[in-house]
Amino acid sequence: MKRKTEVSELIFRIVAYFFLIVFAAMCIYPLVFALSSMFSSWDAVRNNEVILWPTGKLQLDSFKFVFNSANFWVSYSNTLFVTFIGTVWCLIYSILGAYALSKKRLMGRHGFNFFLVFTMWFSAGVVPQFLNYKATGSVMATLFAGSTNMADIDLKWLIVLAMGMNATNIILLRNSFEGVPSEIEEAARIDGATELQILTKVYIPMSKATIATVALFFGISRWNGYFWAYRVTSAAGQNYSWPVQVYMRDFIQKETGLTGSYDIDTSDLANVGQGTSIAYAMVIFAMVPILVIYPFIQKYFAKGVNMGGVKE
Amino acid sequence: MFKLKCDDFLIYDEATGTYSMSAEQQVRDETERNRWKTTGFTILKDWRLYLMLVPMMLVYLLWKYLPMYELTAAFKYGPQDYSSDRPWAGIYNFQTVFLGSEALSFWPAFRNTFIIAFYGLLFGFPTPIILALFFNEVKSNVARSVMQVCVYLPKFISTVIVTSLTLALFSGTTGGGKIGVISQLLDKISTSSVLHSKLNQGLVYTAEYFRPIYIITDIWEHAGYDSIVFFAAVIAVSPTSYEAAQIDGAGKMAQMRYVVIPSILSTVIIMLIMKIGGLLSVGYEKLYLLCPGPNKENYAVANVVSTWANNLTQNSTQGYGIAGEMTNNLIGMILVIGSNTIARKASDVSLY
């Protein structure tokens, strides 16, 4: 009886390890592939000879090309701007709003909550959202540029202000604030703390893990955002405010055969390999910040998700 | 003379034969009159709290609720912008979308939305649970952490990078060379003649293989991250339950069947209900990037309602797109609310 148990357990463990190792390898493989393609010879990249390791005559030209490409770094700095300012902006209004919503004494609390949660149930759709962003652009142009053409303002500000909303994150923060014991708040109030002081000196330090998680979520979605940034900037024809994702997609579309829009010309074959290899270099550059912060903050989001995922 | 018995709010004066209001009732009326004043005072006392709500409310009002105003375009003729006055069209746009000239493109898109979502649920839902059960088997903390870091990672890679790498790994020949790496592998291991005939045009762009590739990359992106919730449920199972089962002679499979599965069942059911709620909100960004337009073969299976609406860019057809997508989103909302209600009834747990 005992022996049988051991055998079934052993088999299960072998299957588990095998499956997990294969899955983990699959998750890492595309990144290794991109890294290798960046250093492989252009012919090898074009002919799809790169499988795992850099193939052909190794080169640093793709790396150098991206490193020296002014347009790439303009878009990169745009993304840095949008990520930093956008995350701070989203965090400010989310923390303030979540703090107010976490208070039982707030009148009309259920109404405000519904106002927030309803946006998770129903969205107007792609076209109305786009028309709304266009109108926002016109209004901002009227206010700051004296025209109604949204191309006259720096669209980075539109992206920062109007995009990246996430009701789940606010609810995550609200739940975390609700978990702070009310005795601590009362004690602070008796000591003469104002509402804002209670928030910044008591609630924020006590919800550090959740705030870190939410900041990570906001930051990553800003860094990776493509669709709306692309729609808005391309509608205004404003290439200088492209975030790096939009720039990268545009480059891949124009300089590689990947998206199927490149007209392959036999005289251009070398360029296809070059373009593709450079595109991989861009992919690596665009992933570096995420790869750098990811291991440090990974322990927080496991915690944050469990707190906010299912609420009783 | 008849005397009213309601002494507590009226007082009868014998001398004049008239009624007058009692003191208690006067206080009550006063309180009632002041009720709104008290409410006002409470709000006034907490004005800082309401001020804190303002930025969030403003952001949501401007960029989530104001777009809903644009939905009126679904009931109007002609071009849509804030300035123009256009005649009301009633349900004309809906008629065109459901029965008229747009029906031939709308219904396939609606069907595609459902099919992609359904397959995504069918294959995408069990994978994180299996991952969590397997993670529980890894006793070494270091090995498990390393694997977890690996499998969570794809969630944080941008859609542009994911789609570009997908296109590259499944690509056809880009001028004389070999096909994409995974296509090469499929070429070696598969005996299907359909597959071999399609390899050269890039599998992502074929009608036959788009859906499997889309679902697999979706699982690749989300399964690891989604396993967090299930893993938390699995490690919450007390070790004494395993010991008790072992003493009763339960093998590994029996332990799974009678100890682990019942313990995580409530989490599984909640997550399943939530997933069903989000069935119709298929990620349009990824589909938009993988399906460049009607000129590719995969358009027939990859065009969902949001990308369909997004393609109706001309002013004259914009109303159709808005009408069609609004229908899709309304059905989605009914699914979310319905699933939430069921979740709350079934287990007292709900997301909202």
pLDDT band at residue A306, thresholds of 50, 70 and 90? Answer: low
Q: What is the mean pLDDT of residues B201-222?
A: 89
- Give tens-digit pLDDT for B273-296: 778 777 777 778 888 888 877 878
pLDDT band at residue A238, thresholds of 50, 70 and 90? Answer: confident
Judged by CB atoms closer than 8 Å, whether chains meet at B306 and A34 is answered as no
* Residue tagged 């059960």 (tokens): B133
At residue B82, the pLDDT reads 47
At residue B337, the pLDDT reads 85
- The model's pTM: 0.85
Residues of B in contact with A306 (CB under 8 A): 228-229, 232
At residue B187, the pLDDT reads 84
Q: Which of B42, B270, B306 sits opposite A125 (nearest CB)?
A: B306
CA–CA gap between residue B73 and residue B55 (Å, rounded) = 28
- Report the share of chain A in percent with pLDDT over 70: 91
Q: What is the mean pLDDT of residues B91-114?
A: 87
Best residue of A121, A216, A228, A253 to probe chain B, by most B CBs closer than 10 Å: A121
At residue A312, the pLDDT reads 34
Residues of B in contact with A227 (CB under 8 A): 159, 284-285, 288
Q: Which of B59, B184, B329 sits opposite A123 (nearest CB)?
A: B329
Query: Any idea which of A109-123, A232-246, B141-155, B265-279 has the lowest mean pLDDT?
Result: B265-279
Amino acid at B325: E
Average pLDDT, chain B: 82
Residues of A in contact with B129 (CB under 8 A): none
Q: Does the structure show a pLDDT above 90 at A95?
A: yes
Q: Which two tokens stand for residue B230?
A: 């299930």
Dihedral angle, C-alpha B60, B64, B70, B72, nearest 10 °: -90
The sign of the torsion formed by the CA atoms of B38, B40, B43, B44 equals negative
Cβ-contact B306, B112 below 8 angstroms: no
pLDDT band at residue B85, thresholds of 50, 70 and 90? Answer: low
pLDDT band at residue B240, thresholds of 50, 70 and 90? Answer: confident
Closest chain B residue to A28, measured at CA: B150
At residue A101, the pLDDT reads 92
At residue A270, the pLDDT reads 64
Characterize A73-103 residue by residue with b for buried, 16 or more Cβ atoms within 10 angstroms of its Cβ, and e for exposed: bbbbebbbbbbebbbebbbebbbbbbbbbbb
At residue A269, the pLDDT reads 59
Query: Which residues, at least 6 apart from B134, have a Cβ–Cβ distance to it below 8 Å?
Result: A15, A16, A17, A19, A20
Q: Does the structure show a pLDDT above 90 at A228?
A: yes
- Give tens-digit pLDDT for A153-192: 899 999 999 998 988 889 889 988 988 888 888 899 899 8
Q: Is A260 on the interface with B (CB under 8 A)?
A: yes
Between A4 and B189, where is the model more confident?
B189
Judged by CB atoms closer than 8 Å, whether chains meet at A20 and B138 is answered as yes
Q: Does the structure show a pLDDT above 60 at A244?
A: yes
pLDDT band at residue B216, thresholds of 50, 70 and 90? Answer: very high
Q: Does the structure show a pLDDT above 70 at B3?
A: no
Q: What is the mean pLDDT of residues A243-266?
A: 76
Residues of A in contact with B165 (CB under 8 A): 30, 33-34, 283
At residue B175, the pLDDT reads 59
3-state secondary structure of B20: strand
Q: Is A146 on the interface with B (CB under 8 A)?
A: no
